[in-house]
Structure formats: structure tokens, C-alpha cells
Amino acid sequence: MQRLLGLNLVRSLLVSLGVLVVGVLLLESTDAYTNTQLSSLTYFTIAAIGLTALTGLNGQISLGHGALMAVGAYTTALMLDTDSPLPFPVIALAAIVMTSLVGFVVGIGAARLHGPYLAGATLAFAVALPSVALYFKGTFNGEAGLTVISPRPPEWFVSFIDAVSGEFATSSKYVAYLGLFCLVIALFFALNLGRSKIGRHWRAVRDQEVAAEIAGINLGRTRVQAFVISAAYAGLAGAVMAMVVRLAAPTVFTLVLSLSLLTAVVIGGLGSITGAFIGSAVLVFLPPLVTDLSTDAKLSDTQAAQMSPLIYGIVLVLVMLLAPGGVMGTLSMAWRRRRARRQLTATPTKKG
């Protein structure tokens, strides 16, 4: 058992380091605009991984993760708005803790709900939370929101970028690297979580509640635990998003954000961390690509902007019809069928 645990840790570490290396190569080989897109990819993927853990592993549907990201973003904005802000790891940890507390409260209320009732409760949370910023206008600046001051790159980072690419380390690139490091850490914990005792309990509750309860698993505690951990991922994603967007406002964290995250998880495949990467990439790169193609096709700016949600919706419908398990679920199913055919072909037939 200990050997298996060690192998899982090594495997998770290698995968996380691989993502880190690929991320550094992408950030250093692309322009500033693509760097910004990659920054957006980091926080979308972090949030999608957390939602994958909640929906894919534990079977709870959440339409309120955009609101949880808002908690992390506002916490980050308030802590950065000082003359001597704390280091970002401390601020990110504070955002995680604050969002986890909110997730604990919401999770307790949603622990006994299922299906559309759970979706409705989290939907109400997503709609209601932005009004808190409007009510406490003196603290959160109402509809205008809080402007987020990006941290200045430290000297060691400037020296690192100069050694790697010979370019000047801008604040935007520093934020992109912070997002990458946060993604790598979140990925490492998620990979280990899925193979741990906690992950097995989550899957047991998802697949068969009665059998899980007979086996001694506390259903309510398991659901709350899943919601808290998923909320922690949303808080970290919100902290990164606040620095990338440089704004924490109700208009940023609308219901559309929560629906987009759920859409990304569905497209990539429920329960798949790789699927969370794929769905987030579609979410980030498809709209501007469609807009550019529409502009090249001589459409007006308004028509080009309207094409993005249209194509995105068509892609979602096609995935649900042709690949209901998402991209990774469909590929996994195809691989298992192919493997089963090979085993049948390799099995010698008995002569009667």
C-alpha cells in the first residue's frame, strides 16, 4: 500500500512538472496577447479542476462556482490594496481559506439536496452573492468594483526571464507565471486526491449512496468535504483571475461564468482532469478564434461578436449528442472497446 502511494505521488509530481515545463515553454515562445490568453487558461483550468472534483467525482452539480471565484477575487483585491501588500502566496492562501469557509456554509445547506434542487440552490447563491458587493458599497465599491493592483515582479524573476529569453519581465508575464505555478500546485493535489481514500469515498457516494452508507461512509460529511475542497479551488482561481483581469466587480462574476465553467467540464468529460484542461482551452481560445474568422469573412463587428456564443453553443450541443461522455469520456470508451476487441481476437476458439 505504501509502495502504491509512493508511486502515485511520483507520478503526480512528474505530470505536474511536465505541465510546468510546457507552460514555461509556451509563455516564452508566444507574444504578449497569447500570454494573456494562457493566463486566463490557468484560472479557468483551476476552477474547472475543482468543479470536476465536485461534479465528476462526487456527483454534485454546482451552478455557483462563479460566485465562489468572486469571494477569492475580492479577498485578493482587498489584500493587495495596501501600501505594503503581503506576498502573493499569503494572499492566495487567505483567498482559499475565505472561499473554503463560504463553501462550507453552502455545502452544509446543499448536503441533503440532489439533482435539480441542488442546482437551483447553487444557482440562487450565484445570483444572490453579487448583491453583497452592492449592499456593502463602502467596502466593495458597488457596481464599479475594486481595481486590482498587480504585484511588481521581484528581482529574482526579472533575472530568470532575462536568462531564459533575454526579454524584460513585465507585470503581465509575472502574473502569467503566478497563474502557472498555482495551476501546477492545484494539479498536483488534484491528481493525488483522485487516487486517495477521500477520492474513493467520493466516487462511492456518487455511484451508490446506499452501498456507501452501509460501508460506513458518512454521506453528509463527504458531500460537504467535496464542496469545501472544490470551493478552495474556486478561491484560488478567483485570486489568479483578479490579477489577470485587474478588476473584482459584480459584472465580472456573473451567472455566465458559472455556466461557462460547467460547460467546460461537460465538454472535456466529467471526472477527468485532462478533460478540465481541454474544456478550459475551448472556453479560452475558441471565442477569439471565431471572432477573427468572422472578421476575415467581412462580417461586421457586432455580427462577429455574436458568432462566438453561437459557435460555442453549437459545439456544446454536438458534444452532448455525439460524445455525451465528453472528449475524454468518449476517447476512454473507444479505447476500452478496442482493447476488448483485441482480447476477443487473441482468445483462441475451442473446437467442438
Residue 352 has pLDDT above 50, yes or no: no
pLDDT tens track for 276-297:
999 999 989 988 888 888 887 7
Residue 20 has pLDDT above 80, yes or no: yes
The verdict on 295 and 225 lying in the same domain is no
Give the separation between CA 328 and CA 249, rounded to whole angstroms.
Answer: 34
Give the separation between CA 6 and CA 1, rounded to whole angstroms.
Answer: 9
The verdict on 133 and 246 lying in the same domain is yes
Residue 340 has pLDDT above 90, yes or no: no
The verdict on 243 and 277 lying in the same domain is no
Q: Phi, psi (5° rounding) for residue 247?
A: -160, 140
pLDDT tens track for 233-252:
999 999 999 999 998 988 88
Where in the sequence is the domain holding 276, given as residue range(s)? 255-345
pTM: 0.90
Percent of the chain with pLDDT over 70: 97
Q: Is residue 206 part of a domain?
A: yes
Boundary of a domain, candidates 199, 223, 253? 253
* Per-position b or e across 336-348, b if 16+ CB within 10 A of its CB: eeeeeeeeeeeee
Half-sphere exposure of 207 (CA within 13 A, CB side): 10
pLDDT at residue 2, as a whole number: 54
The verdict on 136 and 238 lying in the same domain is yes
CB neighbour list of residue 226: distance below 8 Å, 6 or more residues apart: 53, 54, 57, 58, 60, 107, 202
Q: Which has the closest alpha carbon to 276: 96, 34, 11, 42?
A: 42
pLDDT tens track for 296-338:
777 777 777 777 777 877 887 888 787 778 888 888 888 888 8
The verdict on 149 and 290 lying in the same domain is no
The verdict on 325 and 193 lying in the same domain is no
Q: Is residue 351 part of a domain?
A: no
The verdict on 134 and 246 lying in the same domain is yes
